[in-house]
A = this chain, B = another copy of it.
Amino acid sequence: MISNSSKYAIKAVLFLALHSNEDHKIMVKDIAKPINVPQAYIAKLLQELVKENIISSTRGPKGGFYLNKENVSQPVINILNNIDGEKRLTSCMLSLEKCNEDKPCPLHAILSPSRKEILKILNEKTIKELALDVEQGNSYLPL
């Protein structure tokens, strides 16, 4: 349902949400370590996220990755859709071409409400809110 790459990406974005801003950028090596992901791997993922304006970066000295106001206001699902593609979360659980709401496959029929709920949450919850949950003690790290 959610790839390793997406998990890493979410961890990294969450880390940035909690520790970076436009005046305090963080370089990849200082992200990789605390979130426990290989540096070269997370670097590649972060680059993809920058391309889609999900996170921000600048190069050179004093450069690094960070989140701006727009970045933190995006829903969590943007990360997943960018890394895994949109289909991953919405496609038929049995990979049947013809499965849809009107003629659901057997798994779809019994799991559709729960899946919809998950999609709804991921669409509504923003990066900012997720970080706030951590800051308020509703959820926990370390990553």
Contact = CB atoms under 8 A, between A and B. Distances in A.
A109 B133 contact: yes
A62 interface: no
Interface residues of A, number: 41
Contacts of A106: 14, 130-131, 133-134, 139, 141
Interface in A59-109: 76, 93-96, 98-99, 103-109
Each complex incorporates copies of this chain amounting to 2
Contacts of A95: 4, 7
A108 to B, nearest CB: 7
Interface string A1-43: 1101001001100100000000000000000000000000000
A113 to B, nearest CB: 8
B2 A96 contact: no
Contacts of A93: 2, 7
B1 A104 contact: no
Interface in A95-143: 95-96, 98-99, 103-111, 113-115, 117-118, 121-122, 125, 130-131, 133-134, 138-143
5 contacts: A2-B93, A106-B139, A108-B139, A109-B133, A110-B139
